[in-house]
Structure 1
Amino acid sequence: MIDFQIIPLQRRPLDGSFTILRGLPSRIRRQIGPWCFFDKLEEPNINTTQHLGVGPHPHIGLQILSWIIDGTVQHQDSIGNHLVANAGELNFMTCGQGIVHTEDTPETLLQSGNSALHLLQFWIALPKESEEVSPGFISMSQSALPLIELEHGEGRLIAGEFEGNSSPLKTYSPIFAMELTLDIGESLLPLEKQYEYAITMIEGEVEFAALNDHQADSLHEEEITPDLLLAFKGVSQLQMIVKKRARFIIFGGLPHKEDHYIWWNYVSSDAEKIRKCHELWESGDTSIFPKIEGESRDNLKAPEFPVKLILFLRN
């Protein structure tokens, strides 16, 4: 059965400087397959008062994909990485048993006041059997991802497999993500019918439909703009009719067999584990959350811990 939903992105403050748009989790839908979090940040004016400056904070039980469309992000973490990633690059961090990192605008850009930042960030919940994997981090050019030729454009395979191609990003469950750039015309994209999917627009205008037995069933009534997510499942062939040259990301996968909890920066199938990690972080324990070498800022404080965690990865 084909099922689809339109999810409006909600405005949220970030570190008192930016407003971000959040698509997941939402009241309409909490996750797309194993993808449990999606934020979009688009700021045209980076300066000394308006910039990325997220101090040391922890993560467990997930992988984080940062897709940089425009601008520059400086990354530091507790496993020794310290680098700057620019437009057309991606950062991919496996948090597993525990990692601490920061995200900043490089100091050199703050003074110029002549830069922008357009960033998409996705979180992938690790399956129960992989929650304790060692933390890791890679940064690479988006152009190094497998290129998929389509009828009126191309795709970059971000995660998973597609027609014999495999992404170099190591993931731990059945998953898929691709950025597509399409010219005007009709293109088709074969999908896994059992997967859940979502589409986030970057630019352009596209009509999306499920194509079954040569019959197209529209997946939306309103135009899918960059401030909306289109979520759907039960589709084996996606029809994409491009009205204006378009760029967008489709991501999806199979939901995990077990339920998960998500709170602040932690994801786990075990609520007690989240509680213990929170206590370690608040106490300054460095057993799973080491200090970042050279970082002088205080650790970010978590919000007040809830009396009871909610099973969040369940629709």
Structure 2
Amino acid sequence: MSNTGLIIEERSRDIGDFLVGRLIPFRKKRTIGPFIFIDHMVPTALGPETYMDVDQHPHIGLATLTYMLSGELMHADSMGTVQRIRPGSVNWMVAGKGVSHTERTPKDLRNGHRFLAHGYQIWVALPKELEGIPPEFHHIPAQALPQWKEDGASFTLVAGEGYGKTSPVPVHSPLFMVEVKTTKEFYLNTKDHLKGEIGICVVEGSLQACGQPVKKGHIAVSKVSDTCETVVAPNSHLLLFGGAPLPEPRHIYWNFVSHDKEIIEKAKRDWANKTFPMMEGDSSYVPLPGS
């Protein structure tokens, strides 16, 4: 990274039965490109009695990207979607003007056995003119994502554009999310292949950027054009996030994102009054914070 870059350490957050490591928003860096929220679902042993159950909750003004590294989740939403997500596949939910959803451990995995759940929950802010579009849901299986190898590293383009390739995830602004796994020391070249801001998240292993160490659980942030020599240690696992920042600042309240605070206020009233789009056949409900 450049000397003006920033290294952010995961901060632990308790979201009920799950402990997550929050990467952004951070007080010194609210967004990375259009990425406005990145939570690391740290490796957690589930079963035989504890499972993941995120009850019905709302979103507006963003797209959510769920990427599992191990374990499985069942997504259901107010559009009627029911979709299982397995490691390496992508669940891309465009909230737009409003959607509610749940994420739970699939019923067939509640069989008394223990398994590891590990992944990332990511929010991407929508461009201002698209914040109010109807909600959408897309599932992209792992084998549909562009994958390639270089000497000492394997790459997967999870979303957006980079390295001359395009992911099938239907994003709404210039961005990238790239997974990198190394088998030996690897010189990572992002300057010639990616554009905009970049966050290099160390899932496992470590790297050196401008001679400065970046450890597991940290994310190094800069502009791609400022990125200097990045040397990745053997047997490391990285996620690269970034792209072009949106021109207007975004407000965040709970699960609501918008350029306009009044839009968020309306969403708060609608959720509190249960006039927000709700799921059929699921009476679970996460109250508005403070209510």
Match 1:228 to one of 202, 214, 218: 218
Shift in Å at residue 69 of structure 1? 0.3
Mapped to 1, the partners of 2:111 and 2:194 lie a distance apart of 50
Shift in Å at residue 87 of structure 1? 2.1
Give the structure 1 partner of residue 148 of structure 2.
148
The amino acid that maps onto 1:5 is: L
Shift in Å at residue 138 of structure 1? 1.7
Give the structure 2 partner of residue 292 of structure 1.
279
Give the structure 2 partner of residue 175 of structure 1.
175
Mapped to 2, the partners of 1:181 and 1:39 lie a distance apart of 20
Give the structure 1 partner of residue 6 of structure 2.
5
Mapped to 1, the partners of 2:225 and 2:51 lie a distance apart of 40
Mapped to 1, the partners of 2:280 and 2:228 lie a distance apart of 47
Mapped to 2, the partners of 1:150 and 1:239 lie a distance apart of 17
Shift in Å at residue 45 of structure 1? 1.7
Mapped to 2, the partners of 1:149 and 1:168 lie a distance apart of 19
Cα 1:186–1:115 shift into 2, 3 Å: closer
Deviations 1:186-243 (CA, angstroms, capped at 9, x unpaired) = 33423378611111122223323xxxxxxxx34xx23421x21111225366644233
Alignment of 1:16-165 (within 5 A): 17-47=17-47, 49-165=49-165
How many residue pairs get aligned? The number is 289
1:304 paired to 2:290 = yes
Cα 1:39–1:156 shift into 2, 3 Å: same
Q: Structure 1 residue runs of 4+, over 6 Å off?
A: none
The amino acid that maps onto 2:257 is: V
Match 2:242 to one of 252, 264, 268: 252
The amino acid that maps onto 2:59 is: H
Deviations 1:8-52 (CA, angstroms, capped at 9, x unpaired) = 11111112x121111111223211111110101124321254321
Check conservation: 1:62, 1:126, Cα contact below 8 A.
Answer: yes
TM-score where L is the length of structure 2: 0.92
Cα 1:145–1:234 shift into 2, 3 Å: closer
Shift in Å at residue 290 of structure 1? 2.4
Give the structure 2 partner of residue 243 of structure 1.
233
The amino acid that maps onto 1:252 is: G
TM-score where L is the length of structure 1: 0.85
Once the two structures are aligned, what percentage of the paired residues are identical? 31
Mapped to 1, the partners of 2:15 and 2:225 lie a distance apart of 35
Moved more, 36-45 or 247-256: 36-45
The amino acid that maps onto 1:284 is: K
Give the structure 2 partner of residue 263 of structure 1.
253
Check conservation: 2:49, 2:112, Cα contact below 8 A.
Answer: no
Mapped to 2, the partners of 1:28 and 1:257 lie a distance apart of 18
Mapped to 2, the partners of 1:107 and 1:190 lie a distance apart of 41
**1:168 is paired with a residue of what secondary structure?**
coil
What root-mean-square deviation, in Å, do the aligned CA atoms of Structure 1 and Structure 2 show? 2.1
Check conservation: 2:13, 2:19, Cα contact below 8 A.
Answer: yes
**1:27 is paired with a residue of what secondary structure?**
coil
Mapped to 2, the partners of 1:250 and 1:73 lie a distance apart of 23
Shift in Å at residue 63 of structure 1? 0.8
